[in-house]
Chain A
Amino acid sequence: MCRLTAIILLLRPLEVWWIAPFVLIGAGLSLIFPAAAKRPLLWWSVAALIALHIAAIWPLSDNHIYLLAYWCLGIGLALASEDPPATLARSGRWLLGAAFAFAVLWKGVLSPDYLDGRFFRVTLIEDDRFADAVMLVSGLTPQDLVANRKSLEPLPAGAELSDPPPLKEPRRFRALVAALTWGGIVLEGFVAVAFLSPKPALLEHARHIALLAFCVFTYALAPVAGFGWVIATMGLAQLRRDQGMMRVAYLSVFFLILLYAEIPWAGLLDSWVRPLSP
């Protein structure tokens, strides 16, 4: 776990220039010197530096930076305990359950525009990072997206157009919105329950499969590889020595997320498929 976490720290360095070098040095040391990776102080220091980063640029840090800080603290605490693997597994399980529980709380209860589909309808049209996947799945063209974005340009408060330009939302687009909205909250809710359940043995395989499925589907679209790497590493930390296949699955997903982040797969696929469509 220490090495994978160090790789995460190296793959996405922190943004604050006077903190990042110390985190990179800590991550580098833990990769080069296995003995250093076993020192709780190294991980507590990294956790403290990440916390300092969060404070330095408050409130702009993304949520996975917080999760990374908690995880590094957990590694340090586990290394200082009598049974590091068991302590780290428990720590990861509770962190995963809590993070997903708060994500579900926001989506299902606190946000006014998630369950009615507004969030994904707007995001899939406006966020250019989703454009390739949206065109691939929904059949919208680049021109459709441009026209839809124009329709979503804001008016001053109280103003209303007499003849607003219509949004083009074909059936496949609506289906994609529904799948992302409801699939997202159901899967996240299941992950939260499965990892927080006091009887985890009953859900042992199901929770791993749910977390792996979440990573495979979510990070194919969502441009936040850092979050995916952290939760995949936490999932991996739950495994016993005899769960070799699941270990391979988590490591594969870790690298799949890296490939998602580096290869514009949806754009390539769309450029191959679109000429074939009627």
Chain B
Amino acid sequence: MAASNAAALPAVILGIVASGQVLLAKLDGLSPWKGGGFGMFSTTDDAGRRAVRIFVTAPGRSEELSIPPSLADIAERAAVHPSDRQLARLARRVVERERRAARDVSEVRLECSRIVYAAGTLSASTVPTRVFTYRTDAPR
């Protein structure tokens, strides 16, 4: 490989990854802080200001679950990048956990939100960003 090509390859990969991160952040909800696009320290939209709430439904049951430590990592991933894939993964893990505890689940609803600060006053409000519903009887 020519020296100039060898020197350029890492920066070319950086450019491709970072461009992809910009697209994911703008089109698919990825936090600008993550994903290799160097958007850290540019916005308040970071992992700490995003949340996912978990609601489970079954015959005779409808409740919000607090996120247990065993699901904290996967819930954080879903909050940082609330894509279908991440949210479905979290929902499946919730179903598995509930069934291990012999609790019935027919639907998992995940509500994603983030904190937004008003220009000037900095008044903070929680803004819903996505609702994802996972039905256990849906064909996969």
User: Of A93-101, A135-143, A262-270, which binds chain B?
Assistant: A93-101
- Counting contact residues on chain B (CB < 8 A from A), the size range is 35 or more
- Inter-subunit contact B124/A153 (CB<8 Å): yes
B123: contacting residue among A70, A107, A156, A160, CB under 8 A: A160
A153-184 vs B, CB cutoff 8 Å, 1 = contact: the mask equals 11111111100100100000000000000001
What residues on B are CB-neighbors of A114 within 8 Å?
Answer: 42-43
- Smallest CB separation, B88 vs chain A (Å): 15
Q: Nearest Cβ distance between residue A127 and chain B, in whole angstroms?
A: 8
Secondary structure type dominating chain B contacts = mixed
- Verify if A3 is at the interface (C-beta below 8 Å from B): no
Contact indicator per residue, chain B 58-97, by CB within 8 Å of chain A (1) or not (0): 0000000000000000001100110000000000000000
Please tell me if the beta carbons of A156 and B3 are within 8 angstroms of each other in the complex: no
Interface residue? A204 (CB, 8 A): no
Q: Within 8 Å of chain B (Cβ to Cβ): is A30?
A: no
The residue on A at minimum CB distance from B34 is: A59
Cβ of A200 within 8 Å of any chain B Cβ, yes or no, is no
Q: Which of A81-89, A205-213, A243-251, A253-261 contacts B (4 or more CB under 8 A)?
A: A81-89
Using Cβ atoms and an 8 Å threshold, which residues of chain A touch B6?
77-78, 80-81, 87, 91
Best-buried of A97, A102, A157 by chain B (most CB within 10 Å): A102
Within 8 A of A (CB), among B28-50: 30-45, 47
Indicate whether A110 sits within 8 Å of B22 (C-beta atoms), given known contacts A63-B38, A95-B14: yes
A60–B13 touching, CB < 8 Å: no
| B113 CB, nearest partner CB in chain A, Å | 8
Q: Is B122 within 8 A of A118, CB to CB?
A: yes
Residues of B within 8 A of A11 (CB): none
Q: Count of chain A residues with Cβ under 8 Å from any Cβ of B?
A: 63
**A106 to B123 CA separation, bound complex (whole angstroms):** 23
Partner of B11, one of A94, A116, A164, A222: A94
Please give 9 more A-B residue pairs, beta carbons under 8 A apart, in addition to A59-B34, A74-B10, A103-B40.
A57-B77, A58-B81, A62-B34, A63-B39, A77-B6, A103-B38, A152-B117, A157-B126, A224-B40
> Measuring CB to CB, which residues of chain B are less than 8 angstroms from any residue of chain A?
1, 3-4, 6-11, 13-15, 17-18, 22, 25-26, 30-45, 47, 76-77, 80-81, 115, 117, 119, 121-128
